[in-house]
Amino acid sequence: MQSLQLMGILNITPDSFSDGGKYFDENQALKHFVYLTESGADIIDIGAESSRPGAILIDEVTEWQRLENILKKINELKLKPKISLDTYKGIIAQKALQQNLVQIINDVSGLQDNLMLETLREFPNCEIILNHNRGIPVAKENYAFDKKNTWSEIIMFFEKRLKKLAEINFPPDKIILDLGLGFGKGLEENLFLIQNLSQFKKYFNLKILLGPSRKRFIRELWTDTKLFGENLDWASLVISSWAALGGADIIRCHEIDIYKPLKEFLQMTN
């Protein structure tokens, strides 16, 4: 078994799907960063723009205004987790890396912005997460599912991006692939991706990240709320455990505490 890493989520947005507005205040954001750290997060993913379906996109000036102060204050804490920046804008990634504020860029667009590629050329020691998607934010009409087509679509999507990274000699051990659960995918397709995760990992031979936490498809899977209640974290843990046993290297989750037994179990079975 692999060594599982847990990625906590810090949304400093007013409109994220699960906790929009909860940590928009700087002091609350700092407290939550410390909480995630103390809970055992290996990585904390910080985002200032929601990518949920129907989200209103913001410009780079607004995004950086939300990020700059909080990133600086988080770095002053000198805590253990790696800091991941959830952005698809090359200029935002560039500013954060130039100031040595983050170690990972989580690009949900999968290198949609050409400046992102140039930024990675400038900073080959950072890690990059490439997310498969069908638009940011995705429109409902882009949802589609066919097993054969899904497999080939995702393979071609990543191969195209990996070719771009190879052309700038970006190190493969710094690349993480995210199959994009919920990004233009319904229940059946999300489950198909988790079920076949080991095959994707074998094909690419790269680290895989999955983020099922509190996604809509989990509520669709367990319609009987008596089983887990309205809180989707325990149901998310069930799906995440399946993904981890299938070979996921990183699980992106809202509540780190309840995932720690899963991480410890995988460590014991190494």
The percent of residues in the chain predicted with pLDDT above 90, rounded, is 71
Instruction: Return the CATH class of domain 5-268.
Output: alpha beta
Buried b (16+ CB within 10 A) or exposed e, 131-148: bbbbebbbeeeeeeeeee
- What is the tens place of the pLDDT at every residue in 244-270? 999 999 999 999 999 999 999 998 887
CA-to-CA distance for 148 and 151, rounded, in angstroms?
A: 5
Single pTM value for the model: 0.92
Q: Burial-class residue 27 by CB neighbours within 10 Å (0-12, 13-18, 19+).
A: exposed
Query: Which whole number is the average pLDDT over 215-230?
Result: 76
Q: Phi first, then psi: what are they for 268, rounded to 5°? A: -65, -30
